[in-house]
Structure 1
Amino acid sequence: MPPFASELNHKNRGFTLVELIIVIVLLALTGLFVFNYLGFGAQIFRDTTERDQLVSQSRFALNRLTSELRNAVPRSVRVRAADNQRCLEFMPILASSQYVRMPRPGPPSVSNVPFTAIEPTSLTNLVGGYLLVYATTTQHIYGNSTQRRKEVTGISTPSNNLVEITYTPSTFFVTDSPVRRYYIGGDPVSWCYDEINHNLFRFAGYGRLNNQPTLADLKASAATSAEVMAENIYNDLNNSEFPFRVYEATLYRNSLIQLDWRFRRANAQEPLEILHEVAIPNVP
């Protein structure tokens, strides 16, 4: 046989079955490794994104509620123990300043005078609000008694920097504020935790009620607007994980509102607990 024939047969020889199986196994192992590596990286990216979204939404809700509470009428914040403290209600301040004179019980010279006050920063949307003078309890603010709460019906400006406020019922106020301060509050607002859907809602537009409305009452009210402020909250109300706590003001400290929210991703057991306190100045 010529020398070149043996060399030609060697070049035309294919792979054996064993070699093919080895190559296939090696490729499979390599592909599996690469796939797991990419999948692990995608899982890290997804977890990081979800954690960032959870922190962002919790920070938004916390900052929003803190800002609203700091603009709440003093002593107007309340929770309802019978409803597992799932709802926090307060009355926002529309305007505030000091009064010069107001109707008081006594002779006509003090009981028939108009309510004259220093003009607040803004006079917009004050008609229909609640005029409050030395309202030191939630009953003064929300209750049926109108001795310290009136409804504003009109505002006039008889002179520079002074306003006269008319209200209903047109009766006198029973007591003065120590610093002659008055507030005009708006319709109450409620923040509620829905443990079934794991959401935090903000309700408005339902008006002033003597008894604090429950979550069921607010959901059933046709006059109520509801906004979802946060998701993925998993407070266990049966285990006293109340989302809202209110500590009333005393002679030695301001009102204190404690927010206790337990966030968790829906597909992971990674709790994010937020414990935050908001102080409301005790200046009725």
Structure 2
Amino acid sequence: MRGRGFTLIELIVVIVLLGIVGLASTSLIRFGALIFTDIANRDEILSSSRFVIERLNRELREALPNSVRETNTGAIQCLEYIPVVASSYYSAIPETGRSGSQVKAIPPDGYSFTNGQSLVVYPSVKNAQLDVYQDNANKRHLIDSFSQGATGELATFTLTSNTTYAQSSPARRLYIVNQPVSYCVIGGKLYRYSQYGYYATQQTIGMGAGVLMADILTNDLSVALEQPFSVTQATLTRNAYVTLYLKFGINDGELVFNNEVHVANAP
């Protein structure tokens, strides 16, 4: 009995079927790779955006009362605050009619003096202006040195010059602060600026080289509802709070973070 081989038609059919199966397999693998890449990109963006949001939340919660402000040029929006290093209670401060260069206070827990720090007493809002940024408001003075004092004794803050504070705190509270910090959204990127000093008018440029914190932001700064930062100042019945609204572009979609951060109101 003669064995039968493949006919030409059968061979062609087999080749076509193998091609179809191979093409389908390639498309499936390619589609799976695209899904994996998209998920990986989304996970990376989610992780970096969460880091930025958590850092903003943490830093703003430790901001000096009546020091948070924002400005928007339409192309750049900046959020500025003054970070608190430590706080305590004083026994006496140099006031109007009684100038001096020393402040006696309860030693702040775990405090270590660093050059460039300032001593703030009773920061407030006057005529819609945050007076702690005004050099002539006498709410903030540069610290020259700090003496812890013996156990059970008051600590001594020595200021850089004889001066006075404009007003005493009703609770006799003082704050040790570092220089201001700004977060600015520029061209779809979020930068953090520090160590640039105090300005009576909030700045959007000229603060040195910023640290890139996030990119691919899609907020339209010219639209009020899409502004990344919105500050509501404190009143007698509630704390100040900052609304964060950050939109991150992901391929054809967006990842949106929208939350409020409450700032202490105990000057």
Tell me, yes or no, whether TM beats 0.5.
yes
Structure 1 residue 236 corresponds to structure 2 residue 226: no
TM-score if structure 2 supplies the norm length? 0.90
Give the alignment's TM-score, normalised by structure 1: 0.85
Cα contact 1:116–1:162 (8 A) shared by 2: yes
Contact 1:133 1:176 in 2 (8 A): yes
How far off is 1:105 after superposition?
Answer: 2.4
Paired with 1:113 and 1:56, the residues of 2 have a C-alpha distance of 48
The letter for the 1-side match of 2:37 is R
Contact 2:63–2:264 (8 Å) recurs in 1: no
Distance 1:278 1:37, change over 3 A: same
- Counterpart of 2:48 in structure 1: which amino acid? Q
Aligned to 1:245: 230
- 2:258 paired residue number: 275
Whether 1:93 and 2:81 are equivalent positions in the alignment is no
Deviation readout 1:56-90 (Å, 9 max, x if unpaired): 11111011111111111111111113456611111
* C-alpha distance in structure 2 between counterparts of 1:28 and 1:55, whole Å: 40
1:128 to 2:116 alignment: yes
Q: Which amino acid aligns with 2:256?
A: E
* Distance in 1 between residues matched to 2:215 and 2:78, nearest whole Å: 16
Q: Which moved more, 1:145-154 or 1:241-250?
A: 145-154
Aligned-pair identity in percent equals: 38
Match of 2:189 in 1: 199
Match of 2:46 in 1: 55
1:248-278 C-alpha deviation (Å, 9 max, x unpaired): 111111111010001112xx21111110110
- Alignment-derived partner of residue 174 in structure 1: 166
Distance in 2 between the 1:75 and 1:126 partners? 23
Would you say 1:155 and 2:138 are equivalent positions? no
Q: Per the alignment, do residues 32 and 54 of structure 1 end up closer, same or farther by CA in structure 2, a change over 3 Å counting?
A: same
Residue 112 of structure 1, CA deviation = 4.9
Give the match's secondary structure for 1:35.
helix
The equivalent position to 1:185 in structure 2, one of 161, 165, 177, is 177
Deviations 1:222-255 (A, max 9, x none): xx4x222122211111233111111011111111
Query: Counterpart in 2 of 1:263?
Result: 248
Give the whole-Å Cα distance in 2 for the aligned partners of 1:165 and 1:75.
23
* 2:144–2:159 Cα contact (<8 Å) kept: yes
2:205 counterpart of 1:211? no
Contact 1:101 1:113 in 2 (8 A): no
CA distance in 1, matches of 2:101, 2:212: 46
Q: Which of these residues, 152, 157, 176, is aligned with residue 165 of structure 1?
A: 157
1:178-222 deviation digits (Å, cap 9, x = unpaired)? 110001110111111122xx22111122222222220x423xx3x
Give the drift of 1:146: 4.4
- Contact kept, 8 Å, 2:74 with 2:222, in 1: the verdict is no
Q: Deviations over 1:143-199 (max 9, x none)?
A: 12142111111112444341111113421212110110001110111111122xx22
Q: Which amino acid aligns with 2:32?
A: G
Inter-partner Cα distance in structure 1 for 2:143 and 2:32: 61
- Distance in 1 between the 2:195 and 2:156 partners? 27
Aligned pairs (5 A) from 1:13-52? 14-52=5-43
Shift of 1:127: 3.7
Matching residue's letter, 1:181: R
Instruction: Out of 173-182 and 79-88, give the one that drifted further.
Output: 79-88
Q: Distance in 2 between the 1:114 and 1:205 partners?
A: 25
| Structure label with greater radius of gyration | 1
Specify which structure has the bigger relative contact order, considering alpha-carbon pairs within 8 angstroms and separated by 6 or more residues: 2
Does the CA contact (< 8 Å) of 1:232 and 1:263 recur in 2?
A: yes
- Cα offset for 1:113? 8.2
SS in structure 1 at match of 2:10:
helix
Contact kept, 8 Å, 2:113 with 2:146, in 1: the verdict is no
Specify the code of the residue in structure 1 equivalent to 2:131.
H
Larger helix proportion, structure 1 or 2? 1
- Write the deviation string for residues 80-119 of structure 1: whole angstroms up to 9, x where unpaired: 134566111111111210001112224xxx5458411111
Q: How many residues align structurally?
A: 262
Question: Residues of 1 paired with 2:135 and 2:165: CA distance?
Answer: 15
SS of the residue corresponding to residue 62 of structure 2 reads: coil
Q: Show structure 1 runs of 5+ residues with no match.
A: 1-6
